[in-house]
Structure 1
Amino acid sequence: MMLVDTAAVQSVFPPSREDRKRPSDPAAFLTAANGSPILSYGTRLLSISILGRRYTWNFIVTDMRTPLLGADFLAHFGLAFDVGRKRLLDTDSCQSFTVATCPSTPAICSVAPHQYGQLLKEFPDVFKPELRQVPRAPAKHGIYHHIKMKGPQRT
């Protein structure tokens, strides 16, 4: 089983016992959504089959339990994920594959903590599922996004 994680920038694969014996790879620095570092052990070239088509990809070997297909894999192979219908779509062939959902799996991203870490610490409620905003209802977390616009400019 592999998870499609639309929030994961990198596709990852769990380490073997042999991988865990080696020191982690500081060049493949990954961070969990909560800002904690994820140990990595290099890369592994794997071939997987989706919709009867074989895909070969270099996965980052990380200290995760479940393999993840991230945005790098999806973009490279022209795959899209339809969240509403829970389908993986092949944009070349227009084939789709229904997938199961797993909401309790942690997301990872390859953003260094110093880039957005302070912002995440300042507004932690934004990432709490129980505070998600319902359309046309006031935000439960009290954070609002605004886009300031001006009318047409005359030259």
Structure 2
Amino acid sequence: MEDDLAVKKREGGGSFMAAVFDGHGGRGAAQYAKSRLFPLLETSCSHEESVKEAMRSSFLKIHSEMSSVRESWTSTREGYLSTSGTTATVVVLQPTKLYIGNVGDSAGILAVRGPFGKLFPKPITANHRPNNYKECQNIEQLG
């Protein structure tokens, strides 16, 4: 179940952005990511070739900023700083391309029309979970 979502049509460029955030351990991180993601993407994405890098750098910047702003989020029951985190699944639709990015374990699924008009689900993201072999390797490499 998502905690927050955002949708925005970019003026003048004919593009569209949408994102779903699923908070873990509270809503603070999801709400913060929602407030920061589109402004960062809009600043970073000046042309189509930069969309993938803009998503990546925006995710990393938000992650980095969270450690300094989490003091303002609701504390744990024991009075400790929030341990809230969030997943994010983001779509940027340009006139001729669709970009999808995700962090965490929120799945992105595209509805694809079959030959007789029936819609079929097509997974378009990979969940970042420790039980995924590739993700486990990444976690071990990062320490």
Report the TM-score range of the alignment, normalised by the length of the smaller protein: under 0.3
Larger helix percent? 2
Bigger RCO (CA 8 Å, 6+ sep): 1
TM-score, structure 2 as length reference = 0.23
Higher Rg: 1
